[in-house]
Amino acid sequence: MGSTDLTRRALSLGARDTVTGWCKKTWTDTTIQGVIMDKSSQLNAFKAGTWVRTDAMLLTDDGIVTGDEIKTSTSLYYEVKAVRPFFAADSFDHYECDLHFIPSHFDVDYTTYAGTWLRDDARYRTKVYIETYWTAANAEDDVGAALTIRCMYANVPYPLSLELYNGSTNDVLILLGKAKTTPLLGHDHAPLGYAEQVPVAIAAINKTDVTADKAVTQCETELRRIMETYH
């Protein structure tokens, strides 16, 4: 594809935080060959239909996965947002990768995210509530085995596909958003307490022995059962 030396920082998931449910991001650096075109590049040298959709585009024939990072020889960092394979006849030719520029790059160890202050977070209380009363037998895959459920905070700092694809044992993700808090006022307008609503989203994909729609429906039913039984 090209002679530009780039560093691919392949993303994988490490230890899981006990509060958020997020995994630590770990990186493996390898040198790849590719060409990066930014928005100001002239595309006349490339085939029709090739254009920069985001901050830049990477053309390479090396394996790339969404969520990876690309580092240039001048220490510019990009996050891979989408990967599209292209074929010449029946043979693979190259990947087109949409890149998002990272202006202030640093690695965050999300295993340090936990803290005692987080245990007052409505998301954490909801997570413990769901995990405590969840009955595995009420949500099964297509062959009658209990679905593997992962309850975690939403807005995960890596692609959710890594929690479901690439050999992951997770079948369903229950994602807890930030709470909407409404103060409950007394007769003197002093707050007596707070009503908190935590939005819940459920994510699943079709894979061996798991039909996503069926799995999501069972999980929705189990969440309703928990609320009706223990609320």
Q: What is the pLDDT of residue 227?
A: 93
* CA 30 vs CA 10, 27, 62, 63: distances in Å: 8, 10, 10, 11
CATH of 4-102, picked from 2.102.10.10, 3.30.70.980, 2.40.10.270, 3.40.50.300, is: 2.40.10.270
Helix, strand, or coil (residue 33): strand
Q: Is the pLDDT of residue 11 over 50?
A: yes
pLDDT at site 186: 84
% of the chain residues with pLDDT over 70:
89
pLDDT digits (tens, 9 = 90+) for 101-111: 998 887 766 55
pLDDT (0 to 100) of residue 63: 87
Tens-place pLDDT, residues 153-206: 999 989 998 999 867 889 999 999 999 988 888 888 888 888 889 999 999 999
Strand partners, 204: 172
| Nearest-angstrom CA–CA distance, 226 and 177 | 18
Cβ count near 119 (within 10 Å): 11
For residue 1, pLDDT beyond 50? no
Domain ranges of the chain: 4-102, 115-230
Name the percent of the chain in helix, strand, coil, to the closest 5: 20, 40, 40
Q: What is the DSSP letter of 154?
A: S
Per residue in 80-101, pLDDT (tens digit) is 999 999 888 888 888 999 999 9
